[in-house]
């Protein structure tokens, strides 16, 4: 599978299915905590699935990466991919998913001055018997040899899924603006 395809597959798989804890040691110079809209997110899981792909997940105290209501993420791809290609690949995956997921919706905001893109999207899954609706905002940032993605994810389970969808109108843009204005660490891959 092409590296970009693996990146999208890993992101979608981890977003919807949870993950097994691999490690909790920072590998990209972003140990956290990250604070967004007054919520503190602590490093809970890290993975280095390929030579050029790093993934870290952060959750508030009392939450886990397997079943969270909010998660902060940092993904780093050091294979020379551009911000436009990384975001575009995710959009392509979302477009394909629309055939089987009626909840999928997305929007992209480009900041030409910084070269950054924010991809805002929602998707769902019920394959485990639990209905999960997940909203995400991914901030793609160019780095020297690729892309760093800093993202926020919010989930609703079963009855909470419809509550998440209904409540998005009230907080979605504020969260996107908070993510866009967040001071980010310099990514350092060792």
Over the chain, what HEC string results?
Answer: CCHHHHHHHHHHHHHHHCCCCCECCCCCCCCCCEEECCEEEEEEEEEEEECCEEEEEEECCCCCCCCCCEEEEEEEECCCCCHHHHHHHHHHHHHHHCCCCCCCEEEEEEECCCCEEEEEEEEEECCCCCCEEEEEEEEEEEECCEEEEEEEEEEEECHHHHHHHHHHHHHHHHHHHHHHHCCCCCCCCC
In tens, the pLDDT along 51-105 reads 999 999 999 999 999 999 999 999 999 999 999 999 999 999 999 999 999 999 9
Give domain status of residue 151, yes or no. yes
**Which of 138, 109, 106 minimizes the C-alpha distance to 122?**
106
pLDDT at site 15:
42
Cα–Cα dist 139/95, whole Å: 19
pLDDT at site 59:
97
CATH number at residue 13: 3.40.1000
pLDDT at site 6:
37
Give domain status of residue 187, yes or no. no
User: Do the Cβ atoms of 121 and 93 come closer than 8 Å?
Assistant: no
Domain total in the chain: 1
**What residues in the chain have per-residue pLDDT under 70?**
1-23
Give domain status of residue 21, yes or no. yes
Give domain status of residue 188, yes or no. no
pLDDT at site 20:
40
Q: Provide the residue range defining the domain that includes 75.
A: 3-79+86-181
Give domain status of residue 189, yes or no. no
pLDDT at site 23:
52
Give domain status of residue 123, yes or no. yes
Give domain status of residue 33, yes or no. yes
Give domain status of residue 43, yes or no. yes
Q: Burial code of 12-22, b = ≥16 C-beta within 10 A, e = fewer?
A: bebbbebbeee
């Amino acid at each position: 599978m092409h590296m970009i395809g693996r990146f999208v597959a890993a992101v979608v798989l981890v977003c919807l299915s949870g993950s097994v804890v691999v490690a909790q040691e920072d590998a990209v110079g972003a140990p956290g905590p990250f604070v967004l809209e007054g919520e503190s997110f602590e490093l809970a899981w890290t993975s280095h699935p390929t030579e050029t792909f790093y993934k870290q997940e952060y959750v508030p105290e009392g939450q886990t990466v397997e079943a969270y209501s909010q998660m902060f993420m940092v993904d780093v791809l050091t294979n020379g991919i551009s911000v436009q290609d990384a975001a575009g690949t995710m959009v392509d995956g979302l477009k394909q998913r629309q055939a089987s997921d009626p909840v999928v919706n997305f929007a992209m905001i480009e900041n030409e001055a910084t070269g950054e893109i924010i991809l805002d999207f929602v998707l769902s899954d019920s394959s485990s018997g639990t209905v999960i609706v997940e909203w995400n905002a991914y901030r793609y940032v160019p780095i020297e040899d690729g892309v760093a993605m800093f993202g926020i994810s919010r989930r609703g389970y079963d009855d909470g899924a419809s509550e998440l969808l209904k409540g998005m109108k009230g907080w979605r843009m504020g969260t996107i603006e908070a993510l866009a204005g967040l001071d980010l660490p310099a990514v350092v891959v060792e």
